[in-house]
Every structure is written in structure tokens, then in C-alpha cells.
Amino acid sequence: MTQYISLLSAKMPSWTWNLLVILFALLLGILIKAILVPLVRKQSSSHTMYSVMRSVIRHFSKIFSFFIPLLVFNALLPFTRFNSATHPVVSKITEMLFVGCFAILIIRVIRVFEDYLYHRFDISKENNLRERKIRTQIVFIRKLLVSIIILVALAIILLSFDSMRKIGAGLLTGVGIGGIIIGFAAQKSLGNLLAGFQIAFTQPIRMDDVLVVEGEWGRVEEINLTYVVVAIWDKRRLVLPINYFIEKPFQNWTRTTAEILGTVFLYTDFAVPIDKLREKLTSLLQANSLWDGQVNVLHVTDLREQTMEIRCLMSCRNSGQAFELRAHVREEMIKYISANYPESLSRTRVSLSNYESDKIIADDRSH
């Protein structure tokens, strides 16, 4: 076979043969992908839910379109007829592309494994504390591994050049002074990276946690190596350095459980019948599916000069439902008081002194 290929290449001009080899590599790679991908897709199409094959296709489809032709071209490289000046350049470029492809393939393997863990620990269910804890660690470890793979791939490519090795030796000579300078320059970045490790394993925050931070309510959307993205309720994004969550206080409403107590404050006149309000609150909660059936309390929590403060306390499965239930109870309680006890809405009292009241009576009699 080798002799036949050599005889065939000798009958053609160099540029024609080289072009033919490149085209053959491309066509063979496309053909292999066109055969394998439909077969794997057919096997995974019977699965309606998660499928490893479907995940492999999704992550490897694009890179295989480049990797398979490159693999075929590398196998046919000894049969090409590049001149002595061009052949080392083509060989070096092929080597660099191989390193890059292998790095991407390893990253894709990590993403497939991540998909499996996401399926194994699904956060879509209601009580998802354990799943969010594990997913936070998965995301951080994946990003850390990807960064290491990219750095190693770049190092391998650079070290393949003799000139880069000389530069590396020169840098090692001045590593003492350079290390001190870089250490001071990267102090904050390294601090954020170490804070990321601490957050990934001690977990003061997790993916999808509900936080109140910098006066804003939102959910943890991303935990990166050096920063955290909080999706605020009005679709804004709050980006904070990751060491913020180590150094500063913040509220985590889902630290141990998603359950939360909701409060509604009413300010009424002293004459409002508390027992009737308590009965109304109970009927509102029992008729609403957002209430989890655990806490139902109405108390007078404060007396002020002109109003009485009433607190309605209720429990919910999570903070989103608590917000909706609080708004519903607030609206319905005000409607109930306005319809049945309008005189009990908060109002300002005016008291006249004896002198002023006698003067008003005298004026009335004179008229």
C-alpha cells in the first residue's frame, strides 16, 4: 500500500499531490463524522430524558468536525511532498493544532461528566439544598480544571519552540525579583482565588441561593473563580468580587432551607376587632396554595400615639412564594377592614380644650 501511494505521488506535481492529500483528509473526516454521528444519535433518540450519548454529541460534534480531518492529515503527513523549508512549518502547525484539540477534547469530557452530575443532582425539585451544594462545587472545580488545562496546553505549545525555552531560562534567572513583583501585583487575584476555594467547600453561598446583598434581593446566578454574579429580581445583574462573601456580612435566605416566614404589617385604629382579623387571616391562608400550612399568627406588636401595629406572620416553601402570599394577604386584609370596619383605619384624632369647646358652643347659640 505504501509503495502504491509513493508511485502515485511521484506521477503528480508536488502542489497537486499535497492539495489532494488535504482534500482527502477533509473528505474522509467529514465521511467518518457523517456515519458515526447519526448512528450515535439514533441510539440516544429513544431516551426522552438525559442521555450520555446525547450529551457526547452536543459537546463533541463541533470539535470532531475539525479533529477527525486533522487526525487523518497527520497520518498522511509522511506521504506529502512539501519542500524542506515548508515541511517543518506544516509539521509544527499540525503539532500545535493537535495540542489545542486534545485540550478542547479533555474540556469536553469534563463537560459531559458535568452534565451527568447535573442530571444526578437535579436542582429543579423543591427541596434542593443538597443538589445546590454539590452543583456549586461542580461549577467551581470545572472552571478551575478548565483554566489549568488551558494553561498547560499553552505551556506545551510555547515550550515546543527553542526560542521560548531560552526566554524561559532567562525568566528563571530573575525569578527572585520577578516573583516578588508578580506576588504584589497579583495579591488581590490570588486572594479572590483562595476565597473561591473557601466558598466552594465551606459554602456560605451556593448556586441559586437567595441573597440580600448591598440592599438588593436576588439569586446567585454564577460563581466564577474570582467573582460572583447575583441576578436581581428586576433582571439587573450585581457583580461582586468573590472575597466579598468572605469579608462582608450579607443575608442568605436559603442557607439551610428554602422555607421562610413572611410578614405583613397593618396599621389601624385601636378600635379594630383583633379576633375578626385573626379569623380573616386564617381563612385567607387556608384558601391559598402558597401557604405551607405551618405558621399562621396574628399579633399586636406595637402601640403608637395614633395607630396600632398588627403583624401577620405566615410560612411558605420559598422566598418567591412568600413574596406573592404577603402581597395577597396585604391586599385582602385592607379590603376586609375597609369594607367591614372603615372607622378602624388609621386616622388622626383632634381633641379640643374646654375653653375652645365653650367658645364654639357660645358662637353656635348666638347664631
- Domains of the chain by range and CATH? 2-120 (no CATH), 143-255 (2.30.30.60), 260-344 (3.30.70.100)
Tell me which of 197 and 227 has the higher pLDDT. 227
Answer whether residue 171 shows pLDDT above 50. Answer: no
Alpha carbons 278 and 89: distance in angstroms, whole number:
84
All cell numbers assigned to 267: 396599621
Query: What confidence category does residue 347 fall into, taking pLDDT thresholds of 50, 70 and 90?
Result: low
Give which of 303, 294, 280, 143 is closest to 223, Cα–Cα.
143
Tell me which of 100 and 65 has the higher pLDDT. 100
Q: What is the dihedral of CA 318, 233, 195, 154, to 10 degrees?
A: 120
Alpha carbons 87 and 77: distance in angstroms, whole number:
9
Residue range 182-218, pLDDT digits in tens: 455 455 556 666 777 777 777 788 888 889 999 898 9
Residue range 241-250, pLDDT digits in tens: 888 888 889 9
Residue range 71-97, pLDDT digits in tens: 777 777 766 766 777 777 778 888 888
Answer whether residue 318 shows pLDDT above 70. Answer: yes
pLDDT at 16: 72
User: Looking up cell 486533522, which residue turns up?
Assistant: 70
pLDDT at 307: 87
Crossing angle (nearest 10°) for helices 162-173 and 175-185: 80
- Listed in sequence order, the DSSP H helices in 186-253 are 187-202, 244-247
Asked which of 29-33, 60-64, 321-325 is least confident by mean pLDDT, the reply is 29-33
- Listed in sequence order, the DSSP H helices in 268-345 are 274-286, 319-340
pLDDT at 24: 74
Answer whether residue 174 shows pLDDT above 60. Answer: no
Answer whether residue 238 shows pLDDT above 80. Answer: yes
How many angstroms separate the Cα of 22 from the Cα of each of 16, 18, 74, 258, 321? Answer: 10, 6, 10, 58, 61
Name the percent of the chain lying above pLDDT 70: 71
How many angstroms separate the Cα of 23 from the Cα of each of 8, 50, 71, 81, 246? Answer: 16, 37, 13, 15, 56
For 115-140, letters b (16+ CB in 10 Å) and e give beebeebebeeeebeebbbbbbbbbb
Tell me which of 29 and 264 has the higher pLDDT. 264
Answer whether residue 146 shows pLDDT above 70. Answer: yes
Answer whether residue 336 shows pLDDT above 50. Answer: yes
